[in-house]
A and B are shown apart, each in its own frame.
Chain A
Amino acid sequence: MIWPGNPMASALILFAIAMPFLYAGRKVVHDLFRSIGHMIGGPLRLGARWLFATARDMKERNKAVLLAHGREEVGQHIEREFERIGALVTRDLEGYPALQRKLLEEITRVEEDYKKCGEVPPPPPEWVEAVTAIAKVKSDGNEMVQRILEEIKRSVHVIHDKALAEYRRASESRHKILNGFMPFWRSLDKTFGQVDKKLTGLHDTSSKIDAQMEKYEQINKKTERAEHALTVSAFTQFAISSLVLLIAVGGALVNFKLIALPFSEMVGAGDYLTSTLRASDVAALVIIFLETTMGLFVMETLRITHLFPIIANTSERMRRRVFWVAVVFLFIFAGIEAGLALMRDMLSADKQALVQSLASGPQAAPPDPLLRLIPTTAQMVLGFVLPFALAFVAIPLESFIYSLRTVGGAALVMLVRVLGFLLRILGNLVRQLCKVLVTLYDVTIVLPLVIERLVKAARSGGSEAESRSVKRAA
């Protein structure tokens, strides 16, 4: 310390001594700060640029994968719709010739009946002309003529009554025929209704295909709208499948609880794989995983999921064999689990009895046999059913895996962008910091700088005065 007991004054004196040296090294120090700024800020900015470029590439790659997956999915959807239409056409339109024949027959019959019921006026009898001629005959009070005319009148009346009765009978039979029309009309109406319904169904399916085709075209054109729709769909699928998988994990945990204790009876409870993981627990978990795998194979062979292309590509016969093998294994596992659940119940009861006998308190009364039977049965049923329930995990698992690619990709892009942004900010911050340091350095040596400015001003003032006097003399 230059001034003992006064650090402030000592520091000031040291600063005053150091000031000329600081002034002398000003340019070097400025260059140093700038170099440091470039040295740190440059790579940071470069890194940020690289990260942004990587994020762009990743986004492009994600888009390509998303569109490819979407194309595949929509393609499958369209294929399924076509299959549905094919089945519809085979089922409904295959019967169309028969339907048409039936319709024609019914129409012909209706036509024939219609013709039958047409009102045909009775033909004028041939003797009408004769009657007309007779009517023109003048009786003139001739009794003979009168009698003949009377006779003719009576005969005409009889014939008229007969013709009228015949006409009424014919009308009645026509009405009966018309009445018989009704079932045919109803049948025709029903048949046409069926045809209409089927054609409407066909039209609906065609509309669905049209919508899917439009989607397919948009995917092929790689439009923003298609990408956005697919991304949203993937996020929704991810959320739903995660939820269902969580429920499945809950089921698996229940399953694990059911079989972990009896497994310790089989493989021993004293072996540990890690400090907290027992071999018996791992064995129980392996059984659960095997059940899930068998379920996966069942779903694959049923072509509900498409996780293993090799299974989808096998022959129909082989696929059926794999299906039955997986189903048999599932049944075996279910049977084993039901047995283990029973064993667990027995072990728990034994442990409970031991604990009660060890307790110094009063012994509890034995429970009702029915009450004991209900949980035992429930455990056995659960043990049998859960493997089959776990088999269905394959469906949400597939959705989860596919949507994870999109969601994970998007999250990764976001992360890379955030990193790039942070690096850019850091780079700028370093460069600005170096500029601030340069200014601060100048502030520290402000006194020599002021002197320098004054000297420069004085020099320039003198030279200007000299040049002015020279000019005047000239």
Chain B
Amino acid sequence: MGAIMVKRLLLASLLGLSVSTCTDQRSHTQAVYMLIDTSGTYAAEVGKAQRIINYLLGTLQSGDSLAVARVKTRSFSEKDIIAKVTFDSRPSQANAQKRAFRDKIDAFVKSVGGSAYTDITGGLIQGGMFLNETGAGRKTILIFSDMQEELDKLTIRDFPINLKDIRVVALNVVKLKTDNIDPRRYMGRLEAWQKRIEKAGASEWILINDIEHLDRMLQS
């Protein structure tokens, strides 16, 4: 009688195991691409960006990817990527990579200089391409900017872009002097970006101005 019971239990556990051991082929990692606006007066906000990067380094896990790029006159270039990393599957190695990444960002913060124009669209296209290459399950672009795009005459960015299945988070979108005169300009700017991002196929558009609440940043 006991043997029969044990056999039944074994069969049930084998069945459960066979169901659960089907390896999940989907990617469970996440990739984050952060754009830092270094144009004009916004370059002074780079200290806040550093805090956000440190938060990301503390939050991202083994297997996740992180890249930080600057937004300047023309941002559609790999050269604008300050640092990028895919964390090792071993936690100890991942910690070492995080330390090295932090050192790179520290060096960048010390040497950052302002740019004449702000090419957010170029940075978004570059970010989208980078994230798609990582093959991560969850992809996020963080835009640390006032969202005021200014392009020189030669730069062409008025075409549809592709940000399919990518979350876009605008961080620390500060109000400009002109916004203070007419707040509708600020609202309109954000609305225009939201429309453009959603039209590009992004899965979500989020605005976080208070960097004390960064936990929403990586939530899916």
Q: Which listed residue, A268, A358, A401, touches B2 by the CB 8 Å rule? A: A401
Bound complex: CA of A220 vs CA of B105, how far in Å? 83
* Docked-complex contact A401 and B5, CB < 8 angstroms: yes
Decide if B62 is an interface residue (CB 8 Å cutoff): yes
Assuming the contacts A273-B20, A274-B20, asked whether A358 and B102 have C-beta atoms less than 8 A apart, the reply is yes
* Docked-complex contact A261 and B91, CB < 8 angstroms: yes
Cβ contacts B68-85/A at 8 Å (1 or 0 each):
000000000000000000
Bound complex: CA of A359 vs CA of B89, how far in Å? 23
* Docked-complex contact A271 and B89, CB < 8 angstroms: yes
Residues of B within 8 A of A351 (CB): 91, 95
Residues of A within 8 A of B114 (CB): none
Decide if B28 is an interface residue (CB 8 Å cutoff): yes
Residue of chain B at shortest CB distance from A279:
B23
Kindly specify which of A197-205, A305-313, A446-454 makes contact with the partner chain.
A305-313
Decide if B98 is an interface residue (CB 8 Å cutoff): yes
Q: Which of B42-74 contact A (CB under 8 A)?
A: 51, 54-55, 57-58, 61-63
* Docked-complex contact A265 and B92, CB < 8 angstroms: yes
Assuming the contacts A270-B63, A275-B28, A354-B98, asked whether A264 and B5 have C-beta atoms less than 8 A apart, the reply is no
Number of chain B interface residues as a range: 20 to 34
Give the total number of A-B pairs whose CB atoms are below 8 A apart: 87
Bound complex: CA of A36 vs CA of B29, how far in Å? 60
Decide if A131 is an interface residue (CB 8 Å cutoff): no
Decide if A69 is an interface residue (CB 8 Å cutoff): yes
Residues of A within 8 A of B98 (CB): 354, 358
Decide if A155 is an interface residue (CB 8 Å cutoff): no
Residues of B within 8 A of A268 (CB): 62-63, 89-90
Decide if B1 is an interface residue (CB 8 Å cutoff): yes
Assuming the contacts A270-B62, A274-B24, asked whether A402 and B91 have C-beta atoms less than 8 A apart, the reply is no
Decide if A93 is an interface residue (CB 8 Å cutoff): no
Cβ contacts B1-36/A at 8 Å (1 or 0 each):
111011001000000000011111010110000000
Cβ contacts B91-102/A at 8 Å (1 or 0 each):
110110011001
**A148, chain B: closest CB distance, angstroms:** 111
* Docked-complex contact B23 and A357, CB < 8 angstroms: no
Cβ contacts A395-406/B at 8 Å (1 or 0 each):
000100110110
Residue of chain A at shortest CB distance from B94:
A269
**A353, chain B: closest CB distance, angstroms:** 8
Bound complex: CA of A271 vs CA of B25, how far in Å? 9
**B137, chain A: closest CB distance, angstroms:** 9
* Docked-complex contact B21 and A360, CB < 8 angstroms: no
- Chain A to chain B contacts (Cβ below 8 Å), 27 pairs: A264-B91, A265-B90, A268-B62, A269-B61, A270-B29, A272-B23, A272-B24, A272-B28, A273-B22, A274-B20, A275-B26, A277-B20, A307-B6, A309-B2, A350-B95, A351-B95, A354-B57, A358-B54, A358-B58, A358-B98, A359-B54, A360-B51, A360-B54, A398-B2, A401-B5, A402-B2, A402-B5
| 9 closest Cβ pairs, A-B complex | A270-B63, A268-B89, A269-B62, A358-B54, A270-B89, A272-B28, A272-B24, A354-B95, A274-B24
